[in-house]
A = this chain, B = another copy of it.
Amino acid sequence: MPRTADHDQRRRQIADAVCTLISGHGLDAVTVARTAATAGMSVGLVQHYFRSKDEMLLHAFQEVTARIRARAEDRIRAGIEHRQPISWVLAGALAEFVPLDERRRTEFRVTTAFAGRALDAPALAEVDVATARRLREDIARAVHNGKECGEVDPGLDPWPAAVRLAAVTEGLAMQVHRDPAGMNGVPAAELTASIIRAELAVVFTGECRQYAGMSGS
């Protein structure tokens, strides 16, 4: 009987506006009024879809992390279809987190801003922790699968390796964020590629003798 609208689409629209504002002027510049204006709607409508500002921010955070994760998974799926070695696929997926172009830069700014606020906002912190854990699990699974393909030494424990790879990726993202032009004459993209490659070479020591696979437990 009632008038109807696409709830999820509206909420995504608002989340987009939040991200635009954060990326452009920082998390402190995000007010409900400004978000509504950016999204092209009224303050009241934003309130209609989110009980409070905190709820709105939480949803935006979940939205952006989900989007990044989806991109990484797409890359992995594509790599598998093209029968690339796992280490290649993983290198590409990890590079998704390093702010090397405008899109990734925007995402990095948004997630970093949220991570900063997560320091004293348990709901945001939970998203942050869960996201990081999932990434580690994905990496560990890739390493595990690498064993079956002969790319990884069967005796290697995937977990410390996953923590390590997640750490370099995240740290590298910070470095590139601070010096987008690169360091000591080396462009950021090359630096990133070489460091990730080197780091993966420590784990993926064997040749690939099967096609790549990332799925399965």
Binding site for B on A (CB under 8 A): 25-29, 109, 112-113, 115-117, 119-121, 125, 128-129, 132-133, 136, 159-160, 163-164, 166-172, 174-175, 178-179, 183-184, 186, 191, 194-195, 198-199, 202
Q: Identify A160's interface contact among B119, B133, B191, CB under 8 A.
A: B191
Chain B residue at smallest Cβ distance from A183: B163
Cβ distance A174 to chain B, nearest Cβ, rounded Å = 5
Cβ distance A31 to chain B, nearest Cβ, rounded Å = 13
Cβ distance A201 to chain B, nearest Cβ, rounded Å = 10
Chain B residue at smallest Cβ distance from A109: B119
Contact B163 A117 (CB under 8 A): no
Cα distance, A216 to B163, chains bound together (Å): 34
Cβ distance A202 to chain B, nearest Cβ, rounded Å = 7
Cα distance, A160 to B197, chains bound together (Å): 12
Contact B112 A115 (CB under 8 A): yes
Cβ distance A30 to chain B, nearest Cβ, rounded Å = 11
Chain B residues with Cβ under 8 A from A136's Cβ?
Answer: 183
Contact A175 B198 (CB under 8 A): no
A-B contact pairs, 13 of them (CB 8 A): A26-B120, A28-B117, A28-B120, A29-B120, A113-B116, A116-B119, A128-B178, A159-B184, A163-B191, A164-B195, A170-B171, A170-B175, A202-B202
Q: Identify A164's interface contact among B26, B129, B179, B198, CB under 8 A.
A: B198
Among all A-B residue pairs, the 4 with the closest Cβ atoms: A116-B116, A26-B120, A171-B171, A167-B171
Q: Identify A26's interface contact among B119, B166, B178, B186, CB under 8 A.
A: B119
Q: Identify A183's interface contact among B116, B159, B191, CB under 8 A.
A: B159
Contact B163 A195 (CB under 8 A): yes
Contact B159 A167 (CB under 8 A): no
Contact B163 A174 (CB under 8 A): no
Contact A186 B159 (CB under 8 A): yes
Chain B residues with Cβ under 8 A from A168's Cβ?
Answer: 164, 167-168, 171
